[in-house]
Amino acid sequence: MKPLGDALAPAGFFARLVGLCFGLLVFGRLKCGVTEDAFSKQTIAFHVASLLPFGNVALNTTADWTKWVWQLQVVINVILALWGAQSTGLLGGGKKKAKRSTRKRA
């Protein structure tokens, strides 16, 4: 099995970026009191923000990794970002707040 390489190689960059970012997100959720809603929005932001570097690598990849691996990663990021945005209600759907009763109490 071939090693990932240093941080400047596409595979090494990807592994370190994803590991660091998701490690910090999970740490915040588990140990620092980050709410589920904030955690969901942070992961959406990660998926959207990482589209630019991942897309750049997908277009300019070297022989280390094939183009389709990076193109697939970009597609997965778009799907996860849209799914997260839909489930959190950022796109108008998702979780619905409970309606308050309009019935008068005696």
Give tens-digit pLDDT for 27-54: 988 899 888 888 888 889 988 988 888 8
Q: What is the pTM of this model?
A: 0.64
Can you give the pLDDT at residue 40? 87
Long-range contacts of 79-87 (CB under 8 A, 24+ apart): 80/43, 80/44, 80/47, 81/44, 81/47, 81/48, 81/51, 84/40, 84/41, 84/43, 84/44, 84/47, 85/44, 87/40
Query: How confident is the model at residue 87, as a pLDDT?
Result: 84
How confident is the model at residue 106, as a pLDDT? 57
pLDDT at 8: 67
Q: What is the pLDDT of residue 75?
A: 93
pLDDT-flagged residues of the chain (< 70): 1-11, 62-65, 93-106
